[in-house]
Each structure stands twice: as C-alpha cells, then as structure tokens.
Amino acid sequence: MGMWQNCQKTLPISHYQGNVTSESMVSPRSLAVADSTYKFERVRGMPVSDEELLSDLRSVASRLDKKTVGQKEYRQIGKYDDTTASSRFGTWNNALRAAGLTVSNEVNISDDRLYENVLALWQHYGRQPRRGEVASPPSTISQGPYRRRFGSWTASLEAFVNSTLSDQNTCVRTCG
C-alpha cells in the first residue's frame, strides 16, 4: 500500500511523541466520532493589507523600472498572488490605479479616447503619427486597441480623420 493511502488510514495523535506505535494511532473517523469538536476550517495565508499589496505593486514596478506592471510580471516577481490584488480592488487595473501606477492593459477603450490619443500624437509630431510612435510617450494607448477596433493602424487613422471631418460638418451645421 502506498504511503499516502497509509496516511489516510491512520493519524498520529501527536507529532511530538517519540515512538509512534499502533496504540498511538487512531483513524480520522474514530477521532471525529469520539470528539465532535473537530471541524473542518479552510486555512488561509496571512492576511495582507491593502497598503502592503499596493506597496508591493510599486516595488515591482520600481524593480522593473516601469510605470506599470502586468499580471504575468507580478506573478513572477511579486510577493503576493496577483488574484489577491484583482479581487481586493475589483480588477487588476483598479489595483494599479490605487498604487499610482499606469494601467497595463485596458479593454473596451472608447472611440473618443482612441481619437484623443491620435490627436495628441498628431499635435506632438506636427504630422500624421506613424504606427511605431504609438508605443512611446506621449501616447497613452498602445497599438493593440487600435488594431482590435479598426483592424490596422491605417484604418485607425482613416476612422479618426472621418470622425474629425464628420464632427466639423456637424458643427458647421449646428454651430454656425
């Protein structure tokens, strides 16, 4: 019989007894029947405070020399489980915000925010921004959301220009 199966059948009364004999062993069932005070309780790790979680997020960002931390990075370097931060603050991004860090991967970004980012880049460079420039400041949104929403960077720029022209036409009709 395997060691695990043998452990399941018998349980030492005390781990500190010198010689464990068959007399000092009882079955878990007879122990539970003999004393009904034994109850199953889920053992959890030491509770971690919100500030400890946030401090560790900031520490990991500092070690990585970044303004944000992805969940995968935190899983590898952080002291605590990334799901603890996510559940404590509602989402991973909320935990990052609470720690004063930049959001690492935002989903469902509105068209207006995407267009505002394109506008900021256009104004910064004084020309149509290039795809590679989206990955660097002053851009606050990476290429991914544009590709997912519009299919490509070029299609994103076309949608931005069309939206801007549409807004101008609407304003000409209603504003002036």
Distant-in-sequence contacts of 39-48, Cβ < 8 A, 24+ apart: 48/80, 48/84
Give the pLDDT confidence score for residue 13 in this predicted structure. Answer: 42
Distance from C-alpha of 41 to C-alpha of 31, rounded to nearest angstrom: 16
Q: What is the DSSP string of 54-103?
A: HHHHHHHHHHHT-S---HHHHHHH-SS-HHHHHHHHSSHHHHHHHTTPPP
What would the pLDDT profile of 104-127 be if each residue is shown by its tens digit? Answer: 677 789 999 999 999 999 999 999
Distance from C-alpha of 135 to C-alpha of 34, rounded to nearest angstrom: 67
Report residue 132: phi and psi, to 5°.
Answer: -65, -20
Nearest to 124 by CA among 144, 111, 140, 102: 140
pTM for the model: 0.49
pLDDT at 176 exceeding the cut of 80: no
